[in-house]
Structure formats: structure tokens, C-alpha cells
Structure 1
Amino acid sequence: MPGGNSYSTSDLSRKSGDIIAEALRHPVTITQRNKPRLVLLSIEDYQRLMKQSDPRTAGTIETMSDSLLAEFEAAVDAYAGEDEPRRP
């Protein structure tokens, strides 16, 4: 998600205040030897990315959708049925 403007690592040392101010508005790419190496972004953008990137979420059966709960119960029933001894 590189930002609109790109700055070199030497720019970062010379213009850090301006670059930080810009990064608060939108992500900024930092280059090293003309290659993108880092992206500087606001904490809000970072948190939004982290929330979107991790599909694992904690929940409880109470917060599970009805369709997912039905699938879960069916899977548990099927799994439990495999462990029961077969009767003739």
C-alpha cells in the first residue's frame, strides 16, 4: 500500500517533520537505493490494515451466525459419529 509520495532514507533524515506530517494524511513510501523499502503510515491506517489482514477472530457460540453454528454442529456430530463403535 505504498503512498502517493516517495522519499529516500536521506530525505527522511533531512525532512522528517514534513514527511511525518504527510504520513499522517496518507501512507508515504521510503526508498533506499531507489527501491521501496518502508511505508510510513498513521496508527489508524496501521490498525485498520492489521484488523483486515487477520481473518482469525475470537468469538463465542453466542456471537456465531446461525448458519455457521449449524455447520459447526453438523461437523461436531459427524466427527463424534466416527468415534462411536459400529454396531451390526
Structure 2
Amino acid sequence: MPKPSETYSTSDLSRKSGDIIAEALRHPVTITQRNKPRLVLLNIEDYQQLIRQADRRTVGTIETMPDELFAELENAVDAYAGEDEVGRS
């Protein structure tokens, strides 16, 4: 999916809504409020693609985690705990 390339303020949205919607049908458009990005307008096909990609995520448990990944997680937790104990000394 293309990256948002045009940015408009919420004031622009109220004044130029037709033009902004037409542009959003071609590629995502960022809407700012007080100079901060707040919204992205995108066409329905891009939105549906995002939803489909989100549905591909899986949920697992420690019991279903591959042994190699579990060992990596254990090592990271042990290292973090060791750093925490050194910090308390």
C-alpha cells in the first residue's frame, strides 16, 4: 500500500473535502490537527487489505512457542533481571 504523500489540516478538510476525498481514492492522505498527524483517509481497497493483513496475526502460548524462541526469551528475561539486580546494588 502506498505511503501517505499529501497532508491536509482539519480546516482544509472542511473547505476542500471533495478534492481531498478524490485524492484519498488514489492514495492515502494524512489529516493533521494542530500540526500533528491525526487521521489517514484511504480508499476501501487499501483499508480491506490492512484488515486482511491484521487477520493473519496469530496468538500463541508459551506451550506452543518453538523451543529456540522460548530459549531466546528466557535468555532475554535473565539478562534483564541481572541488569535490574546490578542497578539495585
What's the TM-score once normalised by structure 2's chain length? 0.60
- Structure number with larger C-alpha Rg: 1
Number of aligned pairs? 57
Equivalence for 1:55: 56
Partner of 1:80: none
Please tell me the root mean square deviation across aligned C-alpha atoms, in Å: 1.7
Question: Matched residue of 2:37: which SS?
Answer: strand
* 1:9/1:31 contact within 8 Å kept: yes
1:43 aligns with 2:79: no
The alpha-carbon deviation at position 44 of structure 1 amounts to 0.6
Corresponding residue for 2:33?
A: 32
Shift of 1:16: 0.2
Displacement after TM superposition at 1:56 (Å) = 5.5
Q: Which protein has the bigger helix share?
A: 2
Percent of pairs identical after alignment?
Answer: 79
Runs of at least 5 residues in structure 2 that lack an aligned partner in the other structure: 59-89
TM-score using structure 1 length: 0.60
Unaligned residue ranges in structure 1 (runs of 5+): 58-88
